[in-house]
Structure 1
Amino acid sequence: MLVALFALMHVQAYTQTELRVDSKITDVTVFLNKAQVTREVKTKVGAGRSTLVVTGLTALLDQQSVQVSGKGKVVIEGISHRQNFLNEFNMPAKLKSLKDSVELLQRQLQLEQSQKEILNKEEQMLLSNQKIGGTQSNLTVAELKAMSDFFRTRMTDIVTTRMKHEDKIRKANASIVRLQRQIAEQNDMYSRNTSEIVVALSADAATAVELELNYVVGNAGWQPIYDLRATNTKSPVQLNYKANVYQSTGEEWNNVKLTLSTANPSEGGVKPELYTWLLDFYIPQPIYGNRKMEMQSKPAMRSMVAAEESAVVADRLQEVESMSGFVNTIQTSLNTEFAISLPYTVSSANKPTMVDIRSYEMKASYVYSVAPKLDNDAFLLAKAVGWEDFNLLPGQANIFFEGTFVSTSFIDPNSIKDTLAISLGRDKRVVVKREKLKDFSSRRTIGSNQRDTYTFEISVRNTKAESIQLIVEDQLPISMNSQIEITALDSGGARFNKETGKLIWEVGLQPNETKKFQFKYEVKYPKDKQISGLE
């Protein structure tokens, strides 16, 4: 009997023991949508079968993506994932600090309110004892004056001190409200249920184990953003490639090895298949009363990708030493990865974290451009080349010229041809004027047709102390009706595109030099018709 009992106890001890272990996030690869998190577990297991429960994981992880590998004299027998609706994340230091601050302010608030209440009661006591010495007492003038001075002085002190307490109470309440708003925002991220990864192991003897866990999470990703800087019209354009990294998984990525990838797992990687395309005649179904039977088809199942909200990114001051110097660019078979060699922290928050990726120089030529039909100001353009080598993605660009913020633009590599044109702002020193020459414009009626002739003159003057290259743009109308005929009588030496009607002059202007351009066109249409949008 004792032998059987001992054997049963031995089997139960060998079969399975559950051990809850902590883990640490060491690496995170952030995709354009989603991220892959790597955790490290270090523990010890005894002989036999053990079950390690890695706790405190986000509930947003994709259980199909879980991978576990490790080091040690153990065998991984199985991996599973489960939700934990009872335990919450360990309270992060930031959230704990906010709650501690609220508790401290609430204690101060109670103290100030108590002090104010004491002053109120003292005031009531003084007011209820205004009959000094009672009705039968005869007080001397000196005693009456002394009591009156005491009453006035004490009441003044009470009112003054109470006002100070009320001011402290008001400020404490305002601070508590602000802190509670921040706590509510943090609680929304951290008060979610957690999940756990369960790893079944077996070992012949007690041993140390190091496990590496990988899983993909949602509510994370990054968006590219660029700073384009030009020092002057002689220097190349500096392109600072940055990323807005966001995550609201509830996990804290503290001092992790961060890698940004241009891959997007949400798009899927499975090749689409063409199925047989069947055609048949449409056979309408009969209508019974007011009810119409409609044919229904089953649409093919397609994966839907949710669109991400564009972050409002504020411009930041340039750091003395940029993080871009610690980024390695890795070109994989399908995507580009930016590995940051220094540890980085990305908190679980509604606001993104700015990460510097790389800094590049692009050769650029500078030219002025003006379209006086729309705006008489000339705009300085930087035409940069070589951007194709930088693996750019569509994103917002903040433009700076001569150290001053100019505007916000958008870079879409898919729509750029060979030159990246960057508008650096207006230059009032290039004077432009466009006017209609009435003496060379006319309106005639010939037979059943109306013939309108228009002549315009554009004058440009360079008041700068240096020569410039200038592009002047204008246009002729394009007919959308066969009864409207448009004839270019004089293009003024411009490059004319008949399909778009655009006129382009490219000229050089010396300091204080003025040049003029004239163009003329005729519009023929039936005299009993009116044309909209002319001139």
Structure 2
Amino acid sequence: MVTSSAKALSQNTTVIEADQIPIKAVKLFQSSGSAAKITRTFPLSFLRSQNEAQVVEIVHLPASVQSVDVSITSTSGSVTILDHYHTSITDVQKPPIPVTTASQALRELETERLRLEDEKRVRQQSFTFLTTYMDSLAQCKSQGQPEAAQMVTFFDEFVEIGITRSAAIAELDGKLADISNKIREETERLSKLSSDLPVKVVTVISCTSQVSVEAAELTVSYVVKQVSWKPAYDLHIAMTGNTPSPTVTLDFRCTVTQWTGENWENISLALTTANQVLQLIRLPEPKKIDISLRPSNVFHQPTNAFHRPANAPQAALFGAPAAPLSRSSVLASATASIDIPGQRPPNQAPIAQLANFPPGSPTTVVVETPEAEAPSQGVSQLISHDSKDPITHTASGNLFIPSDHAEHHVLVDSLSLRAEFMRVVVPGIDNRVYYTCEVKNTSEYVLLPGTVKTYLNDKHVSSTDIHNTELPQILECSLAVDTGVKALHNRASDALPQSVPTFTSKAMTTYTSATVLHNTYAEPIRGVIVRSSIPLPADPRITIVLKEPAGLAEIDEGSVTVKEGCLARWSTTGGRKGKQAGLFEWVCDMNPGTEVLKAVWEVCAPQHLELLEQVRP
């Protein structure tokens, strides 16, 4: 029964070359490794209403095909997909597809060669017949004998016919040689395709209604793995004299490399952070939760200097102390000015010189006690959180990306955005003052993590990275180091154990961080941002109270006035965590001359524990 069915199917098989039909769309996936979903649409005009099944074989698909989806639509009548599968032609134990079946171009070339050969044969036969007739005249074998003058005319015409015949045959020989070369090239192409694109998709369909099917379309989608891609951005800033334009252009690009074996020509390109395997929409399920007893002699020891115990008070910045807790490791992060040999910033060139922000590292205050055994996982850690919804973008135009293993920087869209220009300094890390561009993403695109190259008047001046997709997205790009503004930083501490009641066994230390700014320009400058941070307690036995800037500890957002033309606020731009991470900044308008900005905080900790400052990565 299987054999007869296979025979019946083989009598109604149609082969379609995938490389002869353009790709409709490509979607690039990024999660779980890069992959691409290719969508093709094949027109079917050979269907007929009958009970007998028909087979459509789509050949010359990439070897890296992972999975295949097939669907069919028709303008009239009902068409049903009975079965579909994909396989490698090299793995099938049967003779290969004949080239005359596998290539429409080769069939046309073979037909043209036969036509030229027939024409050459007819011309040769006709001249042979004429030659025989002239021989008979010369031997006086014909019934009517022409006059001498007629014989001369006949021979002259015979010579002209011979010359024309030779030229025509020579031209035919040239055409036959060209056709033979094209047939050889097409055969070599097919041979290469059979090795580079060895996969075929077989679809068994049936027209189940009595209505004739005039036309139908078979849509085939498949996932391939021989692809890599990543987002890339070009930020273009134009200068008018010495003033940058407030409107900038952000080119959203995608660096694509593909070696699938098939060229992506005139395609619609989409980019997504979704997983090509898992469903994008999943119904959540409640989790099983167990409650166990913790041994009385064990207390949780944090393993991360920035991970605060669940019962540690967030209000420590406001000066609310907590009860002592025994046998706990005490961790507290702090920001300090520490000189590292060989790491001091060198003298800088004028403002036109480029300089990127060097990576800053917070300083950590570590108080060590005897080790304690870590507890079992808490209940809150057992509750899983769904990942964020995937981000998908579609390029605005059709693209061409050949299979050449090269990096193609294709344009997804060009965005016009507003920019704000300012000077920024982080004196606890680097005393250099950076001239900076801050761009807020107000477009419909969520910018994916990637590298942003900044161009000032079409000259590349710096590069930065987008790390997160949280809104609002703000890009900070350094343009140059402004040597017209100088910055100096100093940090000092003063231990005052006598100010704390002796029965508490605690010592209080006051830290003062001072930043001196000097504006060497003859004119005032606006919007100088000075970023800093204060330590956060990682143990309830440590209390930190922010004294200056005055009033900043009492607010969660907004700003407080430090003095005329200068305010302080929690630093939340560019994905910074602000008060939660102890990050704050001053924003000042500076007249020519010197300004001093001061931060003061108090640290209260047990006297018998030593505070050791270390730079953390």
Q: Given the two structures, how large is their TM-score scaled by the length of structure 1?
A: 0.56
Alignment-derived partner of residue 370 in structure 1: 425
Q: Which amino acid aligns with 2:255?
A: N
SS at match of 1:26: coil
Listed one character per residue, the Cα deviations across residues 21-67 of structure 1 (whole Å, up to 9, x for unaligned) are 32312312314343132143577689976533222123444655112
The residue type paired with residue 256 of structure 1 is N
What displacement does 1:406 show? 3.7
Q: What is the correspondence of 1:152-171 to structure 2 with a 5 Å cutoff?
A: none
Which whole-Å CA distance do the structure 1 matches of 2:420 and 2:484 have between them? 19
The residue correspondences of 1:52-201 to structure 2 (distance < 5 A) are 52-61=56-65, 64-69=68-73, 78-86=82-90, 191=196, 193-200=198-205
Paired with 1:442 and 1:351, the residues of 2 have a C-alpha distance of 61
**Take 1:207 and 1:436, find their aligned partners in 2: how far apart are those partners?**
84
**Partner in structure 2 of residue 22 of structure 1:** 17
**Cα distance between partner residues in 2 of 1:276 and 1:501:** 34
CA offsets 1:292-335 (integer angstroms, 9 cap, x no match): xxxxxxxxxxxxxxxxxxxxxxxxxxxxxxxxxxxxxxxxxx97
Paired position in structure 2 for 1:474: 532
Pick from 267, 279, 282 the counterpart of residue 271 of structure 1. 282
Could you tell me whether the CA contact under 8 Å between 1:189 and 1:248 is conserved in 2?
no
Distance 1:499 1:281 in 2: 31
| Residue 376 (structure 1) shift | 0.3
- C-alpha separation in 2, matches of 1:526 and 1:82: 71
2:279 is the counterpart of 1:224: no
- The aligned residue for residue 253 of structure 2 is 242
Q: Is the 8 A contact 2:65 2:224 kept in 1?
A: yes
Q: Aligned in 2, Cα 1:68/1:251: closer, same or farther, shift over 3 Å? A: farther
1:37 aligns with one of 19, 36, 39: 39
Instruction: Give me the whole-angstrom Cα distance separating, in 1, the residues matched to 2:235 and 2:280.
Output: 34
Amino acid at match of 1:218: V
Unmatched segments (≥5 aa) in structure 2: 1-6, 30-34, 100-191, 294-389, 551-561, 571-578
Q: Alignment partner of 1:30: what SS?
A: strand
Matched-pair contact (CA < 8 Å) for 1:25–1:37: no
Cα distance change on mapping 1:222 and 1:35 into 2, 3 Å:
farther
Are 2:514 and 1:457 equivalent residues in the alignment?
A: yes
| C-alpha contact (below 8 Å) 2:9/2:55 kept by paired residues | no
**Structure 1 39/523 Cα, relative in aligned 2: closer, same or farther at 3 Å?**
closer
Q: CA deviation at 1:508?
A: 0.8
Given the superposition, is the C-alpha separation of residues 76 and 519 from structure 1 closer, same or farther in structure 2, using an over 3 Å criterion?
closer
After the TM superposition, which residues 511-522 of structure 1 pair with which residues of structure 2 at under 5 Å, given as runs? 512-522=592-602
CA pair 504-189 structure 1, distance change in 2 beyond 3 A: farther
- What displacement does 1:470 show? 0.6
Q: CA deviation at 1:262?
A: 3.6
Structure 1 position 423, deviation (Å): 3.9
Residue identity opposite 2:60 in structure 1 = G
> Does the 8 Å CA contact 1:237/1:364 hold for their aligned counterparts?
yes
Q: Hey, what's the Cα distance between the residues in 2 that align with 1:275 and 1:457? A: 52
Distance in 2 of aligned mates of 1:426 and 1:463: 14
State the 1:365 CA deviation: 1.6
Q: Which residue matches 2:394? A: 338
1: CA distance, partners of 2:203 / 2:544: 77
Measured after TM superposition, the shift of residue 377 of structure 1 is 0.9
Q: What is the CA-CA distance between 1:359 and the residue it aligns to?
A: 0.9
Pairing partner for 1:259 from 243, 259, 269: 269
- Does structure 2 retain, via aligned residues, the 8 Å contact 1:257–1:340? no
CA distance, structure 1, for counterparts of residue 485 and residue 194 of structure 2:
55
In 1, are the aligned partners of 2:15 and 2:56 still within 8 Å (CA)?
yes
Percent identical: 18
Give me the whole-angstrom Cα distance separating, in 2, the residues matched to 1:531 and 1:277: 42
Seen in structure 2, the aligned counterparts of structure 1 residues 191 and 276 have a Cα distance that, compared at 3 Å, is same
2:403 to 326, 348, 369: 348
Q: Which residue of 2 aligns with 1:508?
A: 589
How many angstroms apart in 1 are the aligned matches of 2:464 and 2:279? Answer: 30
The RMSD of aligned alpha carbons is 4.6
- Separation in 1, partners of 2:601, 2:395: 59
- Residues 85 and 458 (structure 1 numbering): CA distance in 2 closer, same or farther, change over 3 Å? same
Determine the C-alpha separation between the residues in 1 that align with 2:281 and 2:456. 45
Equivalenced residues, count:
372
Q: Deviations over 1:228-264 (max 9, x none)?
A: 23234343221111123344433322x2332315473
Cα offset, 1:458, TM superposition: 1.5
Q: Is the 8 A contact 1:42 1:208 kept in 2?
A: no
Provide the C-alpha distance between the structure 1 equivalents of 2:11 and 2:194, rounded to a whole number of angstroms: 35
**Aligned partners of 2:291, 2:583: CA distance in 1, in Å?**
49
Q: Determine whether 1:408 maps to 2:430.
A: no
What is the one-letter code of the residue matched to 2:585?
A: I
Distance in 1 separating the partners of 2:49 and 2:540: 92
Looking at structure 2, the residues matched to 276 and 499 of structure 1 have their Cα atoms a distance apart, in angstroms, of: 29
Q: 1: CA distance between counterparts of 2:473 and 2:396?
A: 30
Q: Structure 1's 455 and 58: CA in aligned 2 closer, same or farther, altered over 3 A?
A: closer
CA gap 1:461/1:345 in 2 versus in 1, 3 angstroms: same
Distance of 2:45 and 2:419 partners within structure 1: 57
The verdict on how the C-alpha distance between 1:443 and 1:281 changes in structure 2, with shifts beyond 3 A counting, is: closer
Using a 3 Å threshold, how does the CA distance of structure 1 residues 461 and 47 change in structure 2: closer, same or farther?
same
State the shift of 1:420 in Å.
4.2
CA distance in 2, matches of 1:458, 1:533: 20
Q: Secondary structure at the match of 1:390?
A: coil
C-alpha separation in 1, matches of 2:203 and 2:65: 14
- Seen in structure 2, the aligned counterparts of structure 1 residues 487 and 189 have a Cα distance that, compared at 3 Å, is farther
Specify the SS of the correspondent of 1:259.
strand
Say whether the 8 Å CA contact 2:60–2:194 is kept in structure 1: no
Measured in 1, the distance between the counterparts of 2:540 and 2:284 equals 46
Partner of 1:38, secondary structure, is: strand
Relative to 1, partners in 2 of residues 1:45 and 1:423: Cα closer, same or farther, differing over 3 Å?
same
Is the alpha carbon distance of 1:501 and 1:195 closer, same or farther for their aligned partners in structure 2, counting shifts above 3 Å? closer
Specify the alignment match of 2:117 in structure 1.
Answer: none
Aligned to 1:165: none
Q: What SS class does the counterpart of residue 266 from structure 1 fall into? A: coil
Larger CA deviation: 380-389 vs 358-367: 380-389
Distance 1:13 1:269, change over 3 A: closer
Q: Relative to 1, partners in 2 of residues 1:384 and 1:278: Cα closer, same or farther, differing over 3 Å?
A: closer
> Residue 481 of structure 1: CA displacement?
4.8
**Counterpart Cα distance in 1 of 2:546 and 2:9:** 96
Q: Secondary structure at the match of 1:387?
A: coil
Residues 267 and 237 of structure 1, relative CA distance in 2, 3 Å threshold: farther
How far does residue 375 in structure 1 lie from its aligned partner after superposition?
A: 0.5
- What is the CA–CA distance in structure 2 between the aligned matches of 1:524 and 1:74, rounded to whole Å? 81
Cα contact 1:21–1:43 (8 A) shared by 2: no
SS where residue 86 of structure 1 aligns?
Answer: helix
Residues 161-219 of structure 1: CA distance to partner in whole angstroms, max 9, x if unpaired? xxxxxxxxxxxxxxxxxxxxxxxxxx999546422324446799x99977443212232
Residue of structure 1 equivalent to 2:612 = 532
Distance (Å, rounded) in 2 between the aligned partners of 1:379 and 1:451? 36
Q: 1:503 to 1:338 in 2, by over 3 A?
A: closer
Q: How far 1:372 moved relative to its partner?
A: 0.5
